[in-house]
């Protein structure tokens, strides 16, 4: 049992206060409080750019017990993380394990968080907190200490994609076939997935005009926040839809693809953030267990006649994928590349590749 005082506080916009202990960096922060029900994978989750501006609640009670791996690279891509830094505003957990044990561990979770000036709070009732977020929806929150304070701030009012996207193109050379990856906050595992399939990946900024590039396919990546903030990306994709170059949108990329096609998106009450979201392929009884991290969704009822719903969520029936009826345009709300989570749907990358002539 802890003998010291609980010096940290998580305060929600509805006035709820959760007291706990500090780990990581001792820093005052604000953001949108969201929860993830995954049991493992905190190094991947914390570095996922889709969490930009958010304070992450992990519902699994014990965190930190296997430490944090090193910065090894393969094909110039980090092997163990989804980006080059921790992306979350703060981490909220029930119990923190400072003593870690894993063959691949190089440091503790708290050490790693201090490197990137990211605060954590533990010793709170994450079950109560998660139930509150399930009932009321995601809320703004702040982590404060005894005499310090900070105002609430909604990160979704910012263009979060512009904060996490690369600033200039990066080329990952592999095979002769080339893919444009529109980086809206891409996870490294999307890059790994295509390098593994012997494709050269050209990673470009979110607002980059890729229309004159001679490539074999276009990927629109995952990313944080409201897809409607990505106006330039939507305009570029809208123009790309007039051609026949295969396009695959992933997570936020699927929402951008839908907006470019004239459909609408909306904010979910508390989003989907876990490794076990059941998704049904429309027109079949086939269910896939998927890895997800998103707070917005496509309104399938607003799709035009040229598009149809491809997948839907078996828990709440929200859209999980769209597909064009005649052209090679696809969108999946879940992550085929997982990391962390199951890779049951990675075959969708191969389906996309088969559409490339």
Q: What is the 3-state secondary structure (H, E, C) of 15-62?
A: CCEEEEEEEECCCCEEEEEEEECCCCCHHHHHCCHHHCCEEEEECCCE
Q: Which tokens hold the place of 298? A: 């496509």
Helix axes 252-260, 231-240, angle to 10 degrees: 60
Q: How far apart are CA 279 and CA 199, in angstroms?
A: 28
Which residues on adjacent β-strands are paired with residue 19? 9
Active site residue 337: yes
Active site residue 184: no
DSSP character string of 229-280: G-HHHHHHHHHHTTS-S-EEEETHHHHHHHHHTT-EEEEEEEEEEEEEEEEE
Q: Which of 44, 82, 320, 337 is catalytic?
A: 337
Active site residue 251: yes
Q: Can you tell me which residue has the tokens 């992450």? A: 56
Residues 126, 61 contacting (CB under 8 angstroms):
yes
At a CB cut-off of 8 Å and minimum separation 6, what does 147 contact?
Answer: none
Q: Which of 275, 294, 324, 335 is catalytic?
A: 335
ω into residue 297 within 30 of 0, thus cis? no
Q: Which of 184, 251, 294, 320 is catalytic?
A: 251
Nearest by Cα to 173 from 196, 202, 193, 197 = 202
**Distance of alpha carbon 108 from its chain centroid, rounded?**
23
What residues are annotated to the active site? Answer: 251, 335, 337
């Amino acid at each position: 049992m802890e003998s010291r005082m609980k010096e940290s506080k998580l305060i929600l916009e509805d006035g709820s206060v959760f007291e706990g202990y500090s780990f990581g960096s001792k820093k005052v922060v604000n953001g949108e409080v969201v929860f993830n029900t995954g049991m493992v994978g905190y190094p991947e989750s914390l570095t996922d750019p889709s969490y930009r501006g958010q304070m992450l609640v992990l519902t699994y009670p014990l965190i930190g017990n296997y430490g944090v791996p090193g910065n090894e690279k393969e094909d110039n891509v980090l092997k163990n993380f989804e980006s080059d830094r921790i992306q979350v505003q703060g981490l909220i957990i029930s119990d923190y394990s400072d003593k870690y044990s894993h063959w691949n561990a190089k440091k503790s979770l708290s050490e790693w968080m201090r490197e990137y000036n990211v605060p954590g709070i533990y010793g709170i009732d994450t079950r109560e907190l998660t139930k509150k977020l399930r009932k009321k929806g995601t809320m703004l929150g702040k982590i404060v200490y005894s005499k310090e304070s900070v105002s609430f701030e909604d990160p979704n009012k910012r263009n979060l994609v512009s904060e996490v996207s690369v600033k200039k193109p990066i080329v990952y050379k592999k095979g002769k076939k080339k893919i444009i990856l529109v980086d809206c906050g891409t996870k490294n595992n999307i890059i790994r997935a295509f390098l593994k399939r012997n494709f050269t990946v050209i990673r470009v900024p979110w607002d980059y005009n890729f229309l004159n590039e001679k490539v074999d396919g276009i990927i629109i990546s995952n990313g944080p926040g409201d897809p409607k903030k990505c106006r330039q990306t939507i305009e570029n994709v809208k123009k790309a839809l007039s051609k026949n170059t295969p396009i695959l949108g992933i997570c936020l990329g699927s929402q951008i693809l839908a907006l470019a096609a004239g459909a609408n998106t909306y904010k979910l009450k508390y989003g989907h953030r876990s490794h076990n979201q059941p998704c049904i392929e429309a027109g079949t009884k086939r269910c896939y267990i998927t890895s997800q991290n998103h707070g917005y969704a496509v309104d399938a009822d607003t799709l035009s006649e040229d598009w149809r719903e491809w997948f839907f969520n078996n828990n709440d029936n929200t859209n999980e994928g769209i597909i064009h009826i005649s052209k090679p345009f696809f969108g999946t709300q879940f992550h085929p590349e997982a990391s962390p989570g199951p890779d049951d749907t990675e075959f969708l990358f191969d389906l996309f590749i088969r559409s490339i002539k």
